[in-house]
Structure 1
Amino acid sequence: MEIWEVIAVFAAGVGAGAINTVVGSGTLLTFPVLLAIGLPPLTANVSNNLGLVPGSISGAIGYRRELAGQWPLTLRLAAGALIGGLTGALLLLTLPSRAFDAIVPVLVAVALILVILQPRLSRAVRERRARNGVDPGGRRHGGPVLFTGVLLASMYGGYFGAAQGVIYLSLMGLLLNEDLQRINAVKNALAVVVNGVAALVFVFAAELDWFVVGLIAVGSALGGQIGARVGRRLSPAVLRGVIVAVGTAAIVMLVLR
């Protein structure tokens, strides 16, 4: 690799780690860079996934305060993330990408709409539950709908992963009566599970560029800490705006890719 390629991959890793911690979609930074330096798409995808694992761990550690009191919820959803991430990784190694390429921009667009409407929708759901004599806080763990949604989003995450954080945030924002920053902390923990189990599959079953993995790993770990410092200081309204902006950029890049 040329020195400029080394710098570009490392910088993309830093940016991806920060963006993944705040919102998600960091893969949209690293993946095009890896293609630009000449890696085959599958090698770029699996190397990127493994390299981003330290960034996911770094971001989750950065948000550890917001995880306080949420471990029962996190562990429950992590089971779905584990199954989904493993399934997605195996699908990546066996299936063509056309089906996912077609449906992913639609999923991200729906997720963005839910993020935008989440305060109004959540309020309407709480008011309806109150009228029906049900706890307005809703199910503490989001019920089977959230578990199933996380499982399906994690399948996509194990397969490619761009904007999976946006989908997680929209699902939990709608189905949980929680602050958006605390929801983001759970999202980061789930990302560790999905990226970790997918990476484990790729280590044994796919061709990796270990130098690229190392560059992204170091960069994303640094970016995860930067993202945690910046993200936790954003108000819910600003954080929601960031999610929408990043998600919109993700849709454009996914359509053009």
Structure 2
Amino acid sequence: MADSASDADITRILRSAGCVFAESEAALLIDGFTGSDLDDAVARRVDGTPLEQILGWAEFCGLRIFVEPGVFVPRRRTELLVHRAAVTSPRIVVDMCCGSGAVATALAHRLTGVQVHASDIDPVAVRCARRNVEPVGGRVYEGDLYEALPEDLRGTVDVIVANAPYVPTDAIGSMPSEARDHEPAVALDGGVDGLDLHRRIASNAPGWLAPGGTLLIETSRRQSEDTAGIFASHGFDTDIVCSDDLDGTVVVGIRMSDG
């Protein structure tokens, strides 16, 4: 591809590769790269690499979130987690299975004086999340769910948010190649019914939440009743919130007892 390749040239190449938003993607690639770097960026996009991993950032809640290769790309639907968490005006938030740390970062920008913590089991995600979360005053921990958190957070957390994996194992193969081939399986695979992590997060959440604290987990509409049932079995007063605009679904649970 010549250095003088136009938006139209690159748009045509991307559209031929099946990119739905080829025109806007072409503009972003031309803005971010030149010369052979642009050639490489277009080739990677044609091969199915997520645009955000090529650019090094994703737009989320009006922010640019750093995204590294091999890290789950934050989706617009996950903005619903931020909106619902923010209305509770929390003082202490934990972003569980944080990936890039997009939710924690967005909440830190939106809420004055909030203390944000984030955790993930994937060291690549943790490294990426630290680039986003630490500049806004938050902390990121590496480890398996609550095992990663400092003990002094027990019983003090106002909100736990989680975009935990919820794709059933057998459905991974039918996901778009952008996700299946370029995002880590640990960020996608939710077990046989997709709810393994939901069970683990909900079962241990009461010990970390302050009385009246809130647990919010993103899920699909199809799975939402099952996730809500998991919440209820652990003593949460539960609601399901959906957004047609964001195509998002969040199960909300309020801790009603010390159990």
Q: Radius of gyration: which is bigger?
A: 2
Q: TM (normalized to structure 2)?
A: 0.24
Q: TM (normalized to structure 1)?
A: 0.24
Higher relative contact order (CA 8 A, sep 6+): 1
